[in-house]
Structure 1
């Protein structure tokens, strides 16, 4: 299966962000991809209000992505914001939409980024359950940004049959953060003996764009990692499209050589 990672830099304007999705999805399709992954916060970049644009999965923004996927005959995975649950104050959910011919799934980010001086839980409700889906005989698990620091989600997805774990992110910048991103993607591949497709927002600084306060707006370095933890391909900080050809035989081989899923103990 051929997949593509679309490392884009989104902004405040929803229509402009959809234009990016349209352009990169068409490039991915032209390059032979069956599935294209966009980052977390594709709908609107962090550092902007989210409550006013959150919409259900049958709302107009998701409907436009769904229509594009149907038109192109490709699966699109993109980060959006959906309404949160009722509570003392209104919140959103940090949601991944996965849509395409014969496929409809969504995942709400479980581990919220309350770290490095940023409190995602102030504005976001956490998801409660892992999500996997199947495409052409390949099973994919979904994860979002801070989730990559928690191995159990990746091994749970593998237990549910995942050959590939997808991580969509808008990674916070700072000393060593890009190195941590790649290290964690490689570690999660080894933990779960799955391919890891780690697609992040590009680095605004690569385009001379300002970073808004402490908002995690991306560092780039989207990577494709093998089930044995090797980086197969990588982008730099700038926007770009990364293609990868996945063969699930590599997953079976890795699990024969390194049967960590079979050998592990639960305490």
Structure 2
């Protein structure tokens, strides 16, 4: 049985994505060492980082060195096992030709194994018509008793997806993106507060002029945020600090959605039925 801890440290990276998988992989491993040195149990990276992101670094999948992507992923997994750290890494995941890749987040355990993969479910028009094949399933996994979910970029515009993770009981949603506007940040903070969980947002340094990577609390406020450029930010997911949100707000909202607390108080009153009366 997994021991349910009261606190867990995560790291969120903000770094430059390139079209060179070897360079990207080297950057990931360097930041993994940094995160492990800071005693983080999990480190999260931006959307499409390992392979390069379509529409930005990648214009044609034929230009990608897929053997290099796979080799770098294998090296990253081995290092995760050596360092004893979980890694959530954005990359395109190749399928059997002629099928287009998935836009994915690899979930790599502290044992050095790829234990799951989140494939982006809601893709943009350009992504779905030119670059990617869609995924269809949520991904939830546990680290030291904390439940994590995964989402990618434009999916921030689909509240049902974030609500689904709330129903699945996640403590923290790992949201990796390549944002196009400042409103992403507002939406991420709203989803964290409305669904009562932490949201860790990993973004590339190319979009630092819009917003920076960081960790948002269940109250919609930042716990930590990168101060521009490149770097790694750390946050302790501490349950006692947010006891009111997890122990009161979340259960109450669940009861409110179920509706019985309202139906049991319904009144049979003509002044209620007639919505034109004054």
Which residue, out of 179, 184, 191, partners 1:171? 179
Which residue, out of 21, 33, 37, partners 2:28? 21
Please say if 1:151 is aligned against 2:151: no
Larger Rg: 2
Look up the SS of the partner of 2:238 in the other structure: coil
> In structure 2, what is the Cα distance between the partners aligned to 1:265 and 1:149?
24
Tell me: CA distance 1:204–1:227, structure 2 relative to 1, closer, same or farther (3 Å). closer
Point out the structure with the larger helix share.
Answer: 2
Q: Which residue is 1:81 aligned to?
A: 92
Please say if 1:51 is aligned against 2:61: yes
Q: Which residue is 2:17 aligned to?
A: 10
Look up the SS of the partner of 1:153 in the other structure: helix
Q: Which runs of 5+ in 1 are unaligned?
A: 207-218
Given that residues 80 and 96 in structure 1 are in contact (C-alpha distance below 8 angstroms), is that contact kept between their aligned partners in structure 2? yes
Tell me: CA distance 1:17–1:126, structure 2 relative to 1, closer, same or farther (3 Å). same
Please say if 1:260 is aligned against 2:253: yes
CA displacement at 1:240 relative to structure 2: 1.1
**Larger deviation, residues 20-29 vs 97-106:** 97-106
Q: Which residue is 1:187 aligned to?
A: 190
1:102-181 equivalent positions in 2, closer than 5 A: 102=111, 104-114=115-125, 119-121=126-128, 122-172=130-180, 177-178=181-182, 180-181=183-184
Aligned residues: 242
- Report the TM-score, using the length of structure 1 for normalisation: 0.82
**Larger deviation, residues 102-111 vs 91-100:** 102-111
Tell me: CA distance 1:45–1:236, structure 2 relative to 1, closer, same or farther (3 Å). farther
CA displacement at 1:49 relative to structure 2: 4.1
Deviations 1:21-48 (A, max 9, x none): 0111111111110100010111133321
Look up the SS of the partner of 1:229 in the other structure: coil
Given that residues 155 and 261 in structure 1 are in contact (C-alpha distance below 8 angstroms), is that contact kept between their aligned partners in structure 2? no
CA displacement at 1:220 relative to structure 2: 4.6
Query: Runs in 1 of length 4+ with deviation above 6 angstroms?
Result: none
> In structure 2, what is the Cα distance between the partners aligned to 1:191 and 1:85?
39
